[in-house]
Structure 1
Amino acid sequence: MMVFRRLSPPFKSTPARAAALSLALSAVCWSAQAQTSSAMQAAQPDTATSAVPLVLPATGSATPEARPADLARAREIWQRANERVAEFPRGHVDLLRWEAKNPGDAPSAPASNAKPATLDLAQALRLSLRQRPDLFTRAGMNALEQGAVQVAYAKHVRELQRAWVDAVAARQRWRHATEVWDATRTGSELGRRMVVAGNWSQAKLMREQLTQASAWQAAVEAQGDAFQAQEQLAQMLGLWESAAVEQLGERLPTSLPAVPPRATPGAGITEATLEAAVLRGHPLLALQRTKAAREFAAVNAGRRQAWNDAVEASLAALPDPGTTPTPPHIADLSLLRDHALERSTRAEADLLRAASERRSMARQAWANLQARHASALHAQTVVAQLHTALEQETLLRYNGMLQSSWELLASARERMQSLDAALQARRDYWRAHADLQALLAGADYAGPDSPSNAGAGSANAPAGH
């Protein structure tokens, strides 16, 4: 009794005091965990992190340019402009680009820090798995549990690969759109100067300004797409600090991997063995096959034949198409009350349906991969090279004074748009590749994406002269 009195608290315990003590202990425990747990910090509203502002390109101007007041003033401006243009090999185009790189008294941009290490797919996968403990197999799991984890893991790998490919492609497309916008800005500035010199009309300048405005809109949309793709990848990687998400864009490669010269189903897999590899890759299908074999062996051949005959008779009695749909009917109660026969027929039907689906998925995924591969190679080796050769030919004719600056700028825009089309075709190939690899690992086929229209960029692009 004396021992009890010495260990007793000096105050009387009440429910209110107990609740307060529990709350204080919880706060202390949370504070200690928050120092080491990124998840606790991210979920705490008081954790300070500021959003990074979206820096958009400067818009053009729709204000009409003032023309020279008299002929003498116009001649003076025209002569000075031509003397300045003559200092550059490609005339107006080189002059404007030189001025853009040498802004005179404009403050110089601060030196950027060293670029962080590139985040490849393998590193991204490891980083994402830290947030997915449910995708780890554990000791003591049975075959069914391990198979479910395997299928979920294959789906996760596919979605991560798609997110990584989309983020890399979106940033590269943003750069292409910015280059197109820069080319249209050059044309607009050239037109403005020609209006000031008095040898161009306001209508022609407005057309160039509209071209620049369309290119600006495309560049802003590409920047927004790149931002969204980067955020989707950041979510899968568990990045929550705005600075870390912004740095993610700098860590991504500047371009997607090159398309291989030949499309293959996978290492050690041929077209003849693809379906077999897909069937073997599904961990739950083997369990389903074992179950079906066990149920099938429990029923003798005579009973199975009687069931098949009843099914054929029921199907033959179906009404003709166009009448009221009526499901087939089996009236033999001896067959219907045979539970072993029922389990056998259901297991066999389920197995056939699952195997047919997997084999169909294999054919679809392989066909889609071949089509995307051919499209990517065509856009890269045919369309893009033709536009590059055309731009070089236009430059030669421009230097020979056979074509104008406007045709040279338009040719440059078309080449950059063809590069963007090749980029989208390459992205589609790598997404199709991720789909097939996930199918081989046990996931279902996600289905083909709508292919990027190689002409969409040209159709939506700003028109030139």
Structure 2
Amino acid sequence: MNTTRKLLVLASMTSLVTGCTSLPPDAGFDEVSVNVEQRIANKVHWYTGGEEDAQVRQSIHDRLAQPLTADSAVQIALLNNYNLQAAYADLGISQADLVQAGLLKNPVLEMTRLKPRNGEDASLDIELRFEFLDILLIPLRKKVATQQFAAAKQRVTATVLDHAALVRKAFYEAQTSQHMEDMFREVTSSTEAALEAARRLRKIGNITAGTFDRFQLSHDETRLSLAQSEMSNRASREKLNQLMGLWGEQTQWLIEGGLKPIPFKPIDVNDIEKRAIANSLDLAILKHDIEALAERSGIENVKSIIDDLEAGYAWDRESSGEWSDGPTIELRIPIFDFGHARRARVAAELKQLQDSYYARAIEIRSSARALSDRLQSSRAMVEHYIDNILPLNRRIKDNELLNYNAMQIDVFKLLRAHEKQVASRQLFVQALRDYWLARADLETLLSGRANTVSDMRGPAISMGGGNEGGH
């Protein structure tokens, strides 16, 4: 009886089929890192306890020691935000699913020992079986998992790009808030000087109580505006702290002076729809989801014909001690369920994803046109302030100063001219902020992300059944 030899041969064949699969340590992160750097020229890092971790943390410290710029704020956030670190774990999860898809389910060993009541020797039944259909479906399952892993890498890249866009826009808001606070402080000083002059004139009876009250009200209102701008500035800093993952002493950073002037050369918007479509991560993700679902339809087609097929080998020892053995097969017969519903479900899901792809492409094209128009309009507004409004206000103030020096107007008119000039500068700063926000949104779109981020996960794609294979 060569029972042991047959068992070893069957086990060896199973081992050859499944192979020995290991998990690469980077889990696709290197590919994500390259993709991010190509799209937005920033680096990312996954903290895994390696030697590079300390170097990255030192680079964050060095950047915080300098006044923050939009670029340095984005880089700090991409290296330091732990929501991104959590997102990188999705790569490991998806890669594990890919490895799992290539494994056979563990074989089942069943043993039965029956002892007759008449005192004869016990009989022994041994059966070793495994799911033969599982072997046939491994290539299809791996194709599904490969597409899902590719989509996971694109989703993580998209998460990084979304975060970079949020940080850049938050920086512009914080920079604007700081500038607005400085200007409100300047206006408050002006109204305080006017109030002090009015107080002296009221004391000698040169102005009425009602006139003095108007100066008092103006100063109180500007003080309130200053307090609101200070609160807005603190809130803007905290939002940026959160996005950059900073706490404690790290939050004592300084910000670069006012918003940069608009670039001399406008951003190129030629073929912007085509470029947005070509670079879109949303469409790339949907394409991988469609491919995965198409591969899954192949699994459902097979399982609709043969839903369950187990093959194995059995050994039987009678109470007399005689052994018998032979192959076994177990097949589920498709009499009541021909798999129509499962195939129809996959077909409907595939149609849903295809329609979502075309809908998303239309949305991206629309966003490209809208953002291009918004950027050009905001640039025109800034240029109008620079070419017309600011010089005009400056000339008005200079003229009022000449009139004041010639004793043709009082100090109050001079101060009001100064306040109007500051108010005009405030509106200019807001227009400049709107330009940089529009530019950030357009650059984000061209890097592969729409300005309005939507959930691109789509319908969940299963493997067409569980898989408990292991090593």
> Shorter-normalised TM-score: what interval?
0.5 to 0.7
In the alignment, does 2:71 pair up with 1:125? no
**Cα displacement (A) at 1:345:** 4.6
Q: Give the aligned residue type for 1:119.
A: L
Report the Cα offset of residue 363 of structure 1: 1.1
1:430 to 433, 436, 450: 436
Contact 2:282/2:449 (CA < 8 Å) preserved in 1?
A: no
Tell me, in whole angstroms, the C-alpha distance in 2 between the residues paired with 1:179 and 1:154. Answer: 38
Aligned-partner residue type, residue 278 of structure 1: A
Task: Label 1:136 to 1:389 Cα distance change in 2 as closer, same or farther (>3 A).
Answer: farther
Q: 1:28-87: CA deviations, max 9, x gaps?
A: xxxxxxxx99xxxxxxxxxxxxxxxxxxxxxxxxxxxxxxxxxxxxxxxxxxxxxxxxxx
**What pairs with 1:246-285 in structure 2 (closer than 5 Å)?**
247-248=252-253, 251-265=254-268, 270-272=269-271, 274-285=272-283
Find 1:395's aligned residue among 390, 401, 411: 401
Alpha-carbon displacement from aligned partner over 1:403-449 (angstroms, at most 9, x marks no partner):
221111100000001011100111111111111111122222239xx
Cα 1:396–1:363 change in 2 (3 A) is same
Residue 441, structure 1, aligned to residue 447, structure 2: yes
Q: What is the rounded CA distance, in whole Å, between the counterparts of 1:155 and 1:201 in structure 2?
A: 59
1:344: how far off?
6.5
> 2:156, 2:199 → 1: CA distance?
63
Alignment CA distance shift 1:183-1:136 (3 Å): same
Could you say what secondary structure the match of 1:256 adopts?
A: coil
C-alpha distance in 1 between matches for 2:350 and 2:236: 48
| Equivalent of 1:173 in 177, 180, 186 | 180
Are the aligned partners of 2:371 and 2:442 in contact in 1 as well (CA < 8 Å)?
yes
CA deviations 1:313-359 (Å, max 9, x no partner) are xxxxxxxxxxxxxxxxxxxxx9xx98897576545423221211111
2:427 to 421, 434, 458: 421
The corresponding residue for 1:455 is: none
Confirm or deny: 8 A CA contact 1:151 1:441 kept in the other structure: no
Aligned to 2:217: 210
Deviations 1:203-247 (A, max 9, x none): 222211111111111111111111111111111222221x542x3
TM-superposed deviation, 1:134:
4.0
* 1:343/1:125 CA distance change after superposition, 3 Å: closer
Given that residues 168 and 255 in structure 1 are in contact (C-alpha distance below 8 angstroms), is that contact kept between their aligned partners in structure 2?
Answer: yes
With 287-296 and 167-176 compared, the bigger mean Cα shift is at: 287-296
Output the CA distance in 2 between the equivalents of 1:234 and 1:173.
19
Q: Answer yes or no: is the 8 Å Cα contact 1:150–1:442 preserved in 2.
A: no
Equivalent runs, 1:260-409 vs 2, <5 Å? 260-265=263-268, 270-272=269-271, 274-286=272-284, 288-289=286-287, 345-409=351-415
Rate the CA distance shift 1:446–1:295 in 2: closer, same or farther, 3 A.
closer
- Which residue is equivalent to 1:224? 231
**Would the alpha carbon gap of residues 136 and 345 (structure 1) be closer, same or farther in structure 2, given more than 3 Å must change?**
closer
Identical aligned pairs, as a percentage?
A: 22
1:155-202 CA distance string (max 9 Å, x none): 101110111111111011000001011101111101111222333332
Amino acid in the other structure paired with 1:421: L
Note closer, same or farther for the CA distance 1:152–1:428 as it changes in structure 2 (3 Å cut).
same
Contact 2:155 2:285 survives alignment (8 Å): no
Q: Which amino acid aligns with 1:163?
A: A
Cα separation, 1, equivalents of 2:87 and 2:175: 25
State the distance in 2 between where 1:283 and 1:226 align.
34
* Cα distance, 1:374 vs structure 2: 1.6
Indicate how the Cα distance of structure 1 residues 410 and 430 shifts in structure 2: closer, same or farther if over 3 A, else same.
Answer: same
One-letter code of the match for 2:437?
R
Aligned to 1:159: 166
CA distance in 2, matches of 1:401, 1:147: 70
TM-score normalised per structure 2: 0.56
Q: Distance in 1 between matches of 2:282 and 2:207?
A: 73
Which position in structure 2 is the counterpart of 1:195?
A: 202
1:257-290 CA distances to partner (integer Å, 9 max, x unpaired)?
Answer: 111234314xxxx422x11111122234135447
Q: Secondary structure at the match of 1:117?
A: coil
> Which stretch has the larger CA shift, 163-172 or 253-262?
253-262
**1:278/1:412 CA distance change after superposition, 3 Å:** same
**Cα offset, 1:369, TM superposition:** 1.4
| Larger-Rg structure | 2
Q: Deviation at 1:366?
A: 1.3
2-structure distance, mates of 1:351, 1:364: 20
Question: Does the CA contact (< 8 Å) of 2:71 and 2:168 recur in 1?
Answer: no
Deviations 1:82-102 (A, max 9, x none): xxxxxxxxxxxxxxxxxxxxx
Quickly say closer, same or farther: Cα 1:379–1:394, change in 2 above 3 A: same
Q: Measure, in 2, the Cα distance between the counterparts of 1:346 and 1:227.
A: 45
Counterpart amino acid of residue 270 in structure 2: E
SS in 2 for 1:437: helix
Alignment-derived partner of residue 462 in structure 1: none
Q: Residues 344 and 234 of structure 1: is their aligned pair in 2 closer, same or farther, counting only changes over 3 Å?
A: closer
Aligned-pair CA distance for 1:135: 5.6
> Cα RMSD (Å) of the superposition?
3.4
Q: List gaps (5 residues or longer) in structure 1.
A: 1-35, 38-114, 297-333, 448-465
- Checking the alignment, whether the CA contact within 8 Å between 2:151 and 2:288 is kept in structure 1 is no
Q: Which moved more, 1:138-147 or 1:411-420?
A: 138-147
Matched residue SS, 2:266:
coil
Equivalence for 1:317: none
- The equivalent residue for 2:32 is none
Displacement after TM superposition at 1:381 (Å):
2.9
Q: 1:184 to 1:146 in 2, by over 3 A?
A: same
* Counterpart secondary structure, 2:358: helix
